[in-house]
Structure 1
Amino acid sequence: MSTATRTLDARVLGQLLLMQSAVIGLPDETIFGFVCQGLGELPGVTRALLVRDGEAAATSSRQQFPLRVGERPLRGIIELEVADSNALSPYLGYLENFCSTLALILEERDQRQRIQEQQQVLEQRVAERTRALTQSEARFRALSNDLPAMVCEYLPDSTLTYVNDAYCAYFGKTAKTLVGRRFFDFLPAEAVAAVRREIASFRPEQPTNSYKHTVLKDGKPVWHEWMDRAFFDETGQLLRIQGVGFDITARQEAEIELAKAKELFERAFRDNPSLMAISDPESGRLIDVNNTWLERMGLRHEQICGKTMVELGLFPNEQARRQLVQEILAGRRSHPVEIEAPDKNGRAFFGEAAGEIIHVGPHRFLFVTIQDLTRQRELRTRLEREATHDALTGVYNRQFADGYLIREIAAADRLDHPLPLLIADLDHFKRVNDRFGHLAGDSVLQEVTGRLGARIRQNDLLARWGGEEFILALPGTHRAGAVRLAECLRRDIELRPFEAAGPMTLSIGLAMWRPGESAAQWINRADQALYAAKHQGRNRVCIAADTDR
């Protein structure tokens, strides 16, 4: 290669390298004018053109060199108009390398420009977001100072970064003295542990939480309820927490007192010796009953609740239950209602039911208390029986018989019906006691009352008058019927020996009541007839002489 040729090669290569270096600092709109001008000075080249996408295709006399630069305006194909292809041919390799390198330079430049534009957009967005957050923070703080609730913002270690006026007023401190302090300093040790757990529970997907804890105020514990909102960075790291708090000490103390009252009510209700129930006043269905009720009825809770008192037999029918409820609602019911129902053993259960309407919010319930009077009723019945019946034989006693005879005299006088009276006495009864003992005598008396009672009607009277004497009153029975019954009774005793004492006999005196006669006069005449039977040899029936009916 000649010296001239080498010199030309060096000049062409230097020119291309110089053009590559110069392009880096040129504005976009001058780059291709500069490149095309430089390429037009190459050996054999008349001129260089940039044919952009969409323009006319190249002519056959032009040499094409592709030069595309991304999606920006600088894209297209450099075309050389060649006058002497032989002169240009040695430099085609240089030219292709130049175009490739130039495309890379421009592509890198384009990427840097896109990055700069994206960064500018991002910076603009960050600035806008910062302004929005600043404005939002300003609005938040302005609004929070108008709230009666305590508002604060703090770091995960409880360091306060903001407190509103209500927070400062509550603790009697200024924002300057509070901000920068850890509010853990205000909490008891157990509350600190609880709040730490709450803070640790925050998650980006669950940034809100609410909880209660105690706070020391003036050395005394008070109750707070807080609703917190956590804020995280893009990596999920907890940055800060905003909280809104309320002093709920009064409410908490009321709830504690309510819980105590509820516990006391539960104790008084569940274990009360009286039967207690809460029911719906409209349907009568039981909602709850106490343990005494369950025990007395021998049922489980689920067997009673949902049923009505009518279904359980405490009221004879629904009408009676509704009448009680209406009287209670009207305030007219002042005395308990007596009820009778079967208990768990099928025996009669007696009680007095009292009710009142209790209101719980918009709802009302019927609270029923049933005083169990079964034992009192049984005791009263026993005392009444003891007062009117003979303890040994079980028949009526003389006290009851006195009243009965007076009432029957009045009825006989009013209705003009016959009224006979029999006085019966076991003959030689003292011998039974002396020979066989008093237990045998008691057995004879019990058997006698059984035999006499089996022969009379339900409305007739059989009473032990004293010792071995018995009286029988037979309302509505004529003289002949009374005589037949007396003879029947006498023969029954005579003909049927007693197991404890053997054969015995019975003497009977009979007197018919006469109008205007007192009970004492009537009894005396029957007693005189009995004396006559004894005097005539016993084991007989004697009738009072002046008995005419």
Structure 2
Amino acid sequence: MSKCGVRAKVFGLFSQALSAWAVALVALVAGGLLTAALAIAAQTFYKQQLRQRFELLANERYSRIAERFDDQEQRLDGLRRFFSYSSEITPREFDGYVKPLLHRTQAYSWAPRVEVGQRESFERQASAWLGQPYHIRDQDAQGVLQPAAARERFYPVLYTQAATLQGQPYGLDLLGQPLREATLARASAPGSMAVSAPLDMINVEPVYARGLLMVAPVFAERGPDNAPSGYVMALLSMRQLIAEGLPPPADDNLVVRILDTSGSNGQEALYDSQNPVAQIPMASNHLLHLADHHYQLSIRPSQAFLQANRSSAVHTVALLGGLLSVLLSALLYSLFSQRQRALRLVEQRTAQLRISEQSLRGTHNQLRSVLDAATQVAIIATSLKGVVGTFNAGAERMLGYSAGEAVGQLNLADLVEAEELGQRAHALTVRYGREIAGGQAMFAETVQEAGAEPGEWTLVRKDGSHLLANMLVTAVLDEQGLWVGYLAICIDVTERRRVHEALAARDRLLEKLSAEVPGGIYQYRLDADGHSCFPYASQGLYDIYEVDLQLLGEDATVVFERIHPDDLERVRRSVRYSAEHLSPWREEYRVVLPRAGLRWVRGEATPEIGDNGCTLWHGYLTDVSDTKRVEEELRALSITDVLTGIHNRRYFQERLKSELERAQREGLELAVIMLDIDHFKRINDEYGHAVGDHVLRSLCQHIGQRLRRSDVFCRLGGEEFMVLCPGSDAEQARWLALELWQGVRSLAIEGVGRVTASFGVAGWRSGEGADALLLRADAGVYAAKQAGRDRVEVVLL
């Protein structure tokens, strides 16, 4: 070998090695870039999930705080109405009403208006009421209570009920401090309510000492200058109001701050959870409303939130991506480095093929025998002009011509139906913009597009009958790559076409039938590995779930995402039970759809065992929302009194039974109030039943407005009514009955005038049944009527 040849081979090997290294390096760089992109995408997705979880927690916390603010306003408003509708309230009555309201509240107080001339008499009367010395006092700068200075009017604290009863500020004049006086001034109109700037509360635990004073005026009677007759007050500690019921700061996912931005010294934090803030740019700010004031609520994620939502996806993606990039680079280097060996093997293989060529020539006759053996396939070879040169036994059997009749005698175009050939020739002429004869039509696609798919042609047999065949026409090349003719392979598809048409007709019939059936018909498949899909789903299933039917054929997960969260586990459990026991599946559940909203669905299906251990259900689904709505309406009608709009006897009996069981189980208090309108028959006889119905509706409306949210107001029948008071004992129910009695007797009904009612009150005793409790309440009504009507009687025995 010459020296130049050796040098060329050495340079060739060096070039091949260099190419392998270059490809491996490019693959490594590309893999690194792709890994970085995936890591960035994973990090972005993680941040989005983190923000969504934080916003969900922040909105829930804001709703809870806002609900507690609204609850405080409603309680104080209820206390105001208690004073507004009562002519005189004793300390015992005040304590009985306020004690149930002290949840999350430091104290409730009542401060009546005292004119300067009434001071001494008021102090003597208050001392007698409270059973201790009472003086109207002011608080000095050191927090010591001293006798109040002379002023035209006082609003001293008379009644107070607090979490701790030691050292209550009886007699403290609210006008003695500018901060409290300014708060009263803002709450001087009927129905108004005001909250003070942050202040230090008296005789309160140090942790709750900083708080707010919320006041509401009472106008039972107007004084000089239309001044309120007194104020009801609530002392609120933000820490007690907000933190109660929340996890410890170390475990809380949120950092919560409530700021008062209206103070003279700038912002003041009324509440701060004081847990560490996570160093991520997330915050949720809201505006809270309490009485006549607004506070800024700031919510940020805590370190506990960040620790609970850590994700290792980014590191995993980076590690796996880097590892795969290195493996791919090593693989490519190995493949390219073997190229030289592959080329040498190709040279050896080429020499072997040349030897095999001689052997192939000897197999020509064997190939002819193979062609003749293909009796189900027609193989026809032609010249460039289309004259038949080869006509195998399958062609003879299919077309009815013998090889002698076809070879050299027939053209391939003679075997195709003339009208169809003319139509295809015309279509090709229009397509290519030049004239194409009928004989060239079957070759044109092969000439223009190599590797064309078989086409369906109508062939003509020797006896003139027709058959439908798949015919693939390809070019025949010589050793130099020149065209020397065409090869046509035909397969009779007449029977297959008939079967396809029958199947298509069946599918059309199935679609038509499924379109007429209300709801959707489906086949549901559950594999052993947990994967599920809908191999068949009629168009009605789209209306049920509003999901693309093609997507359902691949994965059924999106269907379960549409099911209402409260019903999802029940539906999954019923499907698993049906699969395990091969029992029919029947279920009613709710779905939440993007357009239709909340809907009710009823489904039935029958399971069977399928291939590879899967389970197949055949069934249907239908929308039963209208039926459910009618059921709900009927349920509402069955528990509502048609005349008055309040609950009827049936609902009262059901609710009384459940409340008795709960009281027995949890050791709670329970009481009932029964009332009967006095001389109601006389009203009907004198004014008519229409006026009597108006009286019933007016009294129900008036009483319903004065009841608490937890009380249940029902009509037993005629002029008899019942109030169920969960959580209240007999004494508390008696005060409520007195308030209702005062409201009824003070109500003037148009056309009738004043109407009265007799009340009976009974408190539940442990182990007592519903009949015994109602019997005692009824005995109270009877006693009230025997005593002259228009009164409240409590039955203790």
Provide TM-score, normalisation by structure 1: 0.55
Task: Return the alpha-carbon distance in structure 2 between the equivalents of residues 443 and 358 of structure 1.
Answer: 67
Task: Return 5+ residue gaps in structure 1 as ranges.
Answer: 1-133
Q: Does 1:351 align with 2:578?
A: no
Q: Equivalent of 1:508, from 730, 735, 759?
A: 759
Match of 1:223 in 2: 468
Q: Does 1:146 align with 2:394?
A: no
Match of 1:169 in 2: 397
Q: In structure 2, do the counterparts of structure 1 residues 510 and 342 end up closer, same or farther at CA, with 3 Å as the change threshold? A: same
Counterparts of residues 251-330 of structure 1 (less than 5 Å) = 251-260=496-505, 273-274=518-519, 308=558, 312=562, 314-315=564-565
Q: Does 1:497 align with 2:748?
A: yes
Match of 1:212 in 2: 456
Contact kept, 8 Å, 2:579 with 2:615, in 1: the verdict is: no
| DSSP-derived class of the 1:483 partner | helix
| Residue type at the aligned position of 1:152 | I
Which deviates more from structure 2 when the two are superposed, residues 221-230 or residues 426-435?
A: 426-435
Q: Equivalent of 1:199, from 435, 439, 442?
A: 442
Task: Return the alpha-carbon distance in structure 2 between the equivalents of residues 160 and 169 of structure 1.
Answer: 16
Counterparts of residues 416-427 of structure 1 (less than 5 Å) = 419-427=670-678
Identity %: 22
Deviation at 1:474, TM superposition (A): 3.3
The structure whose Rg is larger is 1
Q: In structure 2, do the counterparts of structure 1 residues 182 and 381 end up closer, same or farther at CA, with 3 Å as the change threshold? A: same
Counterparts of residues 395-406 of structure 1 (less than 5 Å) = 395-405=646-656
C-alpha distance after superposition, 1:251-283 (max 9, x if no partner): 434444554565566667788754789999878
Q: Equivalent of 2:729, from 467, 472, 478?
A: 478
Task: Return the alpha-carbon distance in structure 1 between the equivalents of residues 779 and 385 of structure 2.
Answer: 115
Deviation at 1:440, TM superposition (A): 5.7
Q: In structure 2, do the counterparts of structure 1 residues 303 and 393 end up closer, same or farther at CA, with 3 Å as the change threshold? A: farther
| Residue type at the aligned position of 2:456 | K
Task: Return 5+ residue gaps in structure 2 as ranges.
Answer: 1-360, 426-437
C-alpha distance after superposition, 1:299-354 (max 9, x if no partner): 99999999945765644799999878876776778545654444457853333567
Contact kept, 8 Å, 1:424 with 1:509, in 2: the verdict is: yes
Task: Return the alpha-carbon distance in structure 1 between the equivalents of residues 634 and 464 of structure 2.
Answer: 68
C-alpha distance after superposition, 1:116-172 (max 9, x if no partner): xxxxxxxxxxxxxxxxxx999866644321224112245789775542112222345
Deviation at 1:212, TM superposition (A): 0.8
| DSSP-derived class of the 1:474 partner | strand
Contact kept, 8 Å, 1:419 with 1:474, in 2: the verdict is: yes
Q: Does 1:248 align with 2:476?
A: no
Task: Return the alpha-carbon distance in structure 2 between the equivalents of residues 351 and 525 of structure 1.
Answer: 48
Task: Return the alpha-carbon distance in structure 2 between the equivalents of residues 315 and 415 of structure 1.
Answer: 30
Q: In structure 2, do the counterparts of structure 1 residues 215 and 447 end up closer, same or farther at CA, with 3 Å as the change threshold? A: farther
Contact kept, 8 Å, 1:280 with 1:287, in 2: the verdict is: no
Task: Return the alpha-carbon distance in structure 1 between the equivalents of residues 615 and 390 of structure 2.
Answer: 49
Q: In structure 2, do the counterparts of structure 1 residues 239 and 347 end up closer, same or farther at CA, with 3 Å as the change threshold? A: closer
Q: Does 1:391 align with 2:637?
A: no
Q: Does 1:379 align with 2:623?
A: no
Contact kept, 8 Å, 1:341 with 1:350, in 2: the verdict is: yes
Contact kept, 8 Å, 1:310 with 1:317, in 2: the verdict is: no
| DSSP-derived class of the 1:375 partner | helix
Deviation at 1:453, TM superposition (A): 3.8
Task: Return the alpha-carbon distance in structure 1 between the equivalents of residues 716 and 667 of structure 2.
Answer: 26
Q: In structure 2, do the counterparts of structure 1 residues 284 and 539 end up closer, same or farther at CA, with 3 Å as the change threshold? A: farther
Q: In structure 2, do the counterparts of structure 1 residues 490 and 372 end up closer, same or farther at CA, with 3 Å as the change threshold? A: same
| DSSP-derived class of the 1:201 partner | helix
Deviation at 1:529, TM superposition (A): 3.9
Deviation at 1:509, TM superposition (A): 3.2
Deviation at 1:246, TM superposition (A): 0.9
Task: Return the alpha-carbon distance in structure 1 between the equivalents of residues 779 and 719 of structure 2.
Answer: 17
Match of 2:784 in 1: 533
Match of 1:548 in 2: 796
Counterparts of residues 56-71 of structure 1 (less than 5 Å) = none
Task: Return the alpha-carbon distance in structure 1 between the equivalents of residues 690 and 541 of structure 2.
Answer: 45
Task: Return the alpha-carbon distance in structure 1 between the equivalents of residues 541 and 451 of structure 2.
Answer: 48
Q: In structure 2, do the counterparts of structure 1 residues 347 and 472 end up closer, same or farther at CA, with 3 Å as the change threshold? A: farther
Contact kept, 8 Å, 1:208 with 1:230, in 2: the verdict is: no
Match of 2:237 in 1: none
Match of 2:116 in 1: none
Which deviates more from structure 2 when the two are superposed, residues 417-426 or residues 262-271?
A: 262-271
Contact kept, 8 Å, 1:297 with 1:344, in 2: the verdict is: no
Task: Return the alpha-carbon distance in structure 1 between the equivalents of residues 666 and 486 of structure 2.
Answer: 101
| DSSP-derived class of the 1:385 partner | helix
Match of 2:117 in 1: none
Task: Return the alpha-carbon distance in structure 1 between the equivalents of residues 676 and 752 of structure 2.
Answer: 16
| Residue type at the aligned position of 1:348 | L
Deviation at 1:211, TM superposition (A): 1.5
Contact kept, 8 Å, 1:152 with 1:162, in 2: the verdict is: yes
Task: Return the alpha-carbon distance in structure 2 between the equivalents of residues 229 and 315 of structure 1.
Answer: 60
Which deviates more from structure 2 when the two are superposed, residues 432-441 or residues 393-402?
A: 432-441
Task: Return the alpha-carbon distance in structure 2 between the equivalents of residues 499 and 156 of structure 1.
Answer: 111
C-alpha distance after superposition, 1:173-229 (max 9, x if no partner): 544455545676765555443484732626767687531123467987643111123
| Residue type at the aligned position of 2:470 | E
| Residue type at the aligned position of 1:213 | W
Q: In structure 2, do the counterparts of structure 1 residues 492 and 312 end up closer, same or farther at CA, with 3 Å as the change threshold? A: same
Contact kept, 8 Å, 1:310 with 1:316, in 2: the verdict is: no
C-alpha distance after superposition, 1:370-426 (max 9, x if no partner): 543332322222222223332333433223334444555666677777654433223
Task: Return the alpha-carbon distance in structure 2 between the equivalents of residues 326 and 165 of structure 1.
Answer: 58
Task: Return the alpha-carbon distance in structure 2 between the equivalents of residues 526 and 436 of structure 1.
Answer: 30
Task: Return the alpha-carbon distance in structure 1 between the equivalents of residues 405 and 548 of structure 2.
Answer: 64
- Give me the CA root mean square deviation: 5.7
Task: Return the alpha-carbon distance in structure 1 between the equivalents of residues 750 and 744 of structure 2.
Answer: 12
| Residue type at the aligned position of 1:143 | V
Q: In structure 2, do the counterparts of structure 1 residues 157 and 321 end up closer, same or farther at CA, with 3 Å as the change threshold? A: farther
